[in-house]
A and B are shown apart, each in its own frame.
Chain A
Amino acid sequence: MNKKLILGLSTITAAAAVLAGCQSQGGSDKLVVAARGGSHVTAMEAVKEAFEKEHNVQVEIIGLEAADLKQKVSLDAKNKQGAYDLIMADDPWMPEFGEAGIFANLSELGVEADADFEESSLALGKHPYATGDLYALPFAGNVQLFFYNKQLFDSRNDEVPQSWEEVLRIAKEVHAEDGLAGYVIRGQQGNPIVSDFLPIFWAYGGQVFDDNWNAQVDSEAGRKALNTYIELLAAGANYETTDIVSSVSEGRAAMALGWPSWFISGETAKADYALIPSQASPNAEPVATGMIGNWMMGVAANSQQPELAAKFLSFITSSETQKKMVAHGGVPTRKSVYSDSELAAKYKHFPVQLDAMQNSVARPRTPKWSQVEEALGAELSAAIAGVKSAESALAAANQAIDQIMQ
């Protein structure tokens, strides 16, 4: 009895060990896509059937949380036979993935840069940025927008601000006169605060790096932008995403920056939107301020069926497929989709979003961006918390970034 029990347990253990060691391998009848979970997966699932039928292949889409996706894709990159045939990547990861050779060269697979893709999006998929070979195509065209409560603006006869001076003035008035949050910052340490601050920094003429990759956050522009940011907080609040959306849409806050998907779902928007103010003051030179945050897709360099994967990439990023995916939460990256009269009539935010993409700014294209973002985020957080002055926080950030870039 005991022998049988031991034998049974050993068999189960051995089977479990074997199964645990197994990973999904891209076979000849299956394409595996490592994707950012959520609406991207829903949109792809909704349209993939046509490709599956045409090529007699099953497309498996694995939706992962962003950090998990980056980790899994990176770990798999060292394997000779990759577990994934296609990979989605947040655009700031592109320089790191490009350097590491995670993506296959698309030109060698017969995929060419298509002029229909919005230029700023297409540039993100090239390595080196904008000038090099094509390694990934823009899959989802995210770009930051300025969100405001129109009812509140109308009741006060305020116009949509074009400069950050005007944003600050309105925020202060709303706060003082109506007792509401004039402006909501997204000040959580790390990526949130950096993404929220950079558009203001850019509007003041700031650049994170000079041409030689020396940090430039400790600058006149940096100080002015951070002081404006701190003043905006004083006239408003510091919330996380859910509260930003609810407070602006309910009229308890007047303005905030955000990604379109937070406020816009299908044909409806919870708040009004516009391009992010492009000037520091009404008389200042306008500059591009909308942070671009595209999700890219490329063929894994260690895919066992790169040609088929390239065909799927062409299919999923084609104009026709993008049009279909819009109804399922897809965010287009092609001009022809944004300018489609039927879609533009249905999705009112399309013209603004295309305009924002055409006037967008990419985060600095360095493989070390995630470390830079972390260092900058910690110092910005210290500044808004009052632990450090704006000047000392920026000086510390500058020093930390220079150290990272060495």
Chain B
Amino acid sequence: MYKSRRRFEWVMLAPVILLLIGLTLFPFVYTVNNSFTDYYYLAGDNKQYVGFGNYIKLLQDELFLQSVWNTTKFMLLAVSIETALGLGLAMLADSARRGVRLLRVSLLLPSLLPPVTVALIWQMMLSNHNGIVNHLLSWFGAGPFNFLMDVNLAFNAILYIDIWQWTPFAFLLLYAALQAVPRPQYEAAKVDGAGRWKLFVHITLPNIMPGLLMVVLLRTIDTFRLFDKVNLLTGGGPANSTATITQYIYRQGVYNLQIGYGAAASIVMVALVLAFSIFYIRRSMGGASRP
């Protein structure tokens, strides 16, 4: 009985395991292997193993180091601002008595748009020539600013667009988490004389912590993959100020077909994402483990 049950479990799991091997494990091992080669896709001859050559070249490449720095800075800023704003909006919606539905729908609109559409809309709005943002600023006697071509502004412009697009996502998850906080806890704390701050720190925060960690984890992974906005709006410039790791990988591995070198950059990126998200992953996995 026990054996047949085990067999049944394995049979049921087999398709998933095969899919995981085919779509995750094999590509990962293949990429790791390629990262130690000089594989250029269009080359007629076979790839040669170059040891850690690609990794050394990466570490010597100023553009790659700049891309890593830009991506890390972007991730830290975007995740913290989006989470904080999302939490603020979620608490506002949670406490609102009227118009919650309208607020929810209108807040969610930006995150429903495809990234390319978002980039093109903002390209028009931020235009130095006839963009609406500069028109509005001119009413206050400011500008015009060349948001996407100025080395001091381009990074912040991309950051702002990302915050605009993805704060609603943080809001949605945190709003759902807030809805699940047991109301009697608040009432009991209020009876004990707890103020708003204490309610937030001792009741709201512990209750929504899993949701908060999920937002941070998902946004950390996603901001690390920042590509469309940069590729369309700035091309990584001006002066590499908006260059990101994914854009670097795309240019080297996909456009220039330097598969070996691109693979090495991809492995570095995976390692960085893991390093930044391991804390959240361990927390969430730990919470889900069986007793």
Give CA–CA (A385, B151) in the complex, Å: 6
Asked if B41 contacts A74 (CB within 8 A), the reply is yes
Asked if A190 contacts B151 (CB within 8 A), the reply is no
Interface membership of A38, Cβ < 8 A: no
How many residues of chain B are within 8 Å of chain A by beta carbon? 29
Contact with B along A306-333 (1 / 0, CB 8 A): 0000000000000000000000000000
Asked if A74 contacts B257 (CB within 8 A), the reply is yes
Asked if B255 contacts A100 (CB within 8 A), the reply is no
Give CA–CA (A77, B44) in the complex, Å: 11
Contact with A along B190-209 (1 / 0, CB 8 A): 00000000000000000000
Measured CB to CB, the closest approach of chain A to B107, in angstroms, equals 30
Asked if A187 contacts B235 (CB within 8 A), the reply is no
Point out the residue from B149, B240, B254, B255 that lies within 8 Å of A187, measured CB to CB: B149
Are A238 and B234 CB-contacts (below 8 A) given A71-B255, A100-B44, A385-B239?
Answer: no
Which residues of chain B come closer than 8 Å to A374, judged between CB atoms?
251
Are A378 and B44 CB-contacts (below 8 A) given A67-B255, A239-B129, A240-B148?
Answer: no
Measured CB to CB, the closest approach of chain B to A83, in angstroms, equals 16
Point out the residue from A71, A102, A192 that lies within 8 Å of B235, measured CB to CB: A192
Asked if B44 contacts A370 (CB within 8 A), the reply is no
Closest residue of A by beta carbon distance from B254: A71
Are A386 and B129 CB-contacts (below 8 A) given A188-B237, A192-B235?
Answer: no
Measured CB to CB, the closest approach of chain A to B27, in angstroms, equals 15
Asked if B42 contacts A99 (CB within 8 A), the reply is yes
Give CA–CA (A374, B151) in the complex, Å: 18
Interface membership of B31, Cβ < 8 A: no
Give CA–CA (A377, B236) in the complex, Å: 10
Point out the residue from B44, B63, B238, B255 that lies within 8 Å of A70, measured CB to CB: B255
Give CA–CA (A255, B238) in the complex, Å: 22
Contact with B along A39-71 (1 / 0, CB 8 A): 000000000000000000000000000010011
Interface membership of B80, Cβ < 8 A: no
Asked if A187 contacts B238 (CB within 8 A), the reply is yes
Which residues of chain B come closer than 8 Å to A386, judged between CB atoms?
151
Which residues of chain A come closer than 8 Å to B251, judged between CB atoms?
374
Which residues of chain B come closer than 8 Å to A99, judged between CB atoms?
42
Are A243 and B128 CB-contacts (below 8 A) given A75-B41, A99-B42?
Answer: yes
Please classify the interface of chain A as helix (H, G, I), strand (E, B), loop, or mixed, using the class held by over half of its residues. helix
Contact with B along A238-262 (1 / 0, CB 8 A): 1110110011000010000000000
Asked if A96 contacts B42 (CB within 8 A), the reply is yes
Closest residue of A by beta carbon distance from B57: A403
Chain A stretch 364-406: residues in CB contact (< 8 A) with chain B: 370-371, 374, 377-378, 381-382, 384-388
Give CA–CA (A71, B235) in the complex, Å: 18
Asked if A243 contacts B130 (CB within 8 A), the reply is yes
Which residues of chain A come closer than 8 Å to B150, judged between CB atoms?
385
Interface membership of B284, Cβ < 8 A: no
Give CA–CA (A371, B258) in the complex, Å: 10
Asked if B234 contacts A189 (CB within 8 A), the reply is yes
Closest residue of B by beta carbon distance from A252: B129
Asked if A237 contacts B236 (CB within 8 A), the reply is no
Interface membership of A101, Cβ < 8 A: yes
Asked if B44 contacts A239 (CB within 8 A), the reply is no
Point out the residue from A191, A246, A387, A388 that lies within 8 Å of B130, measured CB to CB: A246
Which residues of chain B come closer than 8 Å to A242, judged between CB atoms?
124, 127
Most buried by B among A102, A237, A243: A243
Closest residue of B by beta carbon distance from A404: B256
Point out the residue from B42, B123, B124, B255 that lies within 8 Å of A77, measured CB to CB: B42
Contact with A along B23-52 (1 / 0, CB 8 A): 000000000000000000111100000000
Give CA–CA (A101, B43) in the complex, Å: 10
Point out the residue from A67, A75, A243, A378 that lies within 8 Å of B239, measured CB to CB: A378
Point out the residue from A77, A189, A371 that lies within 8 Å of B236, measured CB to CB: A189
Interface membership of B146, Cβ < 8 A: yes
Give CA–CA (A368, B148) in the complex, Å: 28
Closest residue of A by beta carbon distance from B43: A100
Asked if B127 contacts A189 (CB within 8 A), the reply is no
Chain A stretch 193-251: residues in CB contact (< 8 A) with chain B: 193, 237-240, 242-243, 246-247
Closest residue of B by beta carbon distance from A6: B12
Are A370 and B42 CB-contacts (below 8 A) given A188-B149, A188-B234?
Answer: no
Are A246 and B129 CB-contacts (below 8 A) given A74-B257, A187-B149?
Answer: yes
Which residues of chain B come closer than 8 Å to A385, judged between CB atoms?
150-151, 237-239, 241
Which residues of chain B come closer than 8 Å to A96, judged between CB atoms?
42
Which residues of chain B come closer than 8 Å to A101, judged between CB atoms?
44
Which residues of chain A come closer than 8 Å to B148, judged between CB atoms?
240
Give CA–CA (A238, B63) in the complex, Å: 23
Asked if A370 contacts B255 (CB within 8 A), the reply is yes
Asked if B128 contacts A239 (CB within 8 A), the reply is yes
Are A381 and B42 CB-contacts (below 8 A) given A74-B257, A370-B256, A386-B151?
Answer: no
Which residues of chain B come closer than 8 Å to A237, judged between CB atoms?
128-129, 146
Measured CB to CB, the closest approach of chain A to B237, in angstroms, equals 3
Chain A stretch 68-126: residues in CB contact (< 8 A) with chain B: 70-71, 74-75, 77-78, 96, 99-102
Asked if A381 contacts B254 (CB within 8 A), the reply is no
Give CA–CA (A144, B63) in the complex, Å: 30
Asked if B239 contacts A238 (CB within 8 A), the reply is no
Interface positions of B (Cβ within 8 A of A)? 41-44, 63, 123-124, 127-130, 146, 148-151, 234-241, 251, 254-257
Instruction: Supply 27 A–B pairs (Cβ within 8 Å), ascending by A.
Output: A70-B255, A71-B254, A96-B42, A100-B42, A100-B44, A188-B234, A188-B237, A189-B236, A189-B237, A189-B238, A190-B237, A192-B235, A237-B146, A238-B146, A240-B148, A240-B149, A242-B124, A242-B127, A243-B129, A246-B129, A370-B256, A374-B251, A377-B237, A378-B236, A378-B240, A381-B237, A382-B240
**A-B CB proximity, top 7 nearest:** A189-B237, A100-B42, A243-B129, A385-B151, A382-B239, A190-B235, A387-B239
New contact pairs (7) apart from A238-B128, A243-B127, CB-CB < 8 Å:
A189-B238, A239-B149, A243-B129, A243-B130, A371-B256, A374-B251, A377-B235
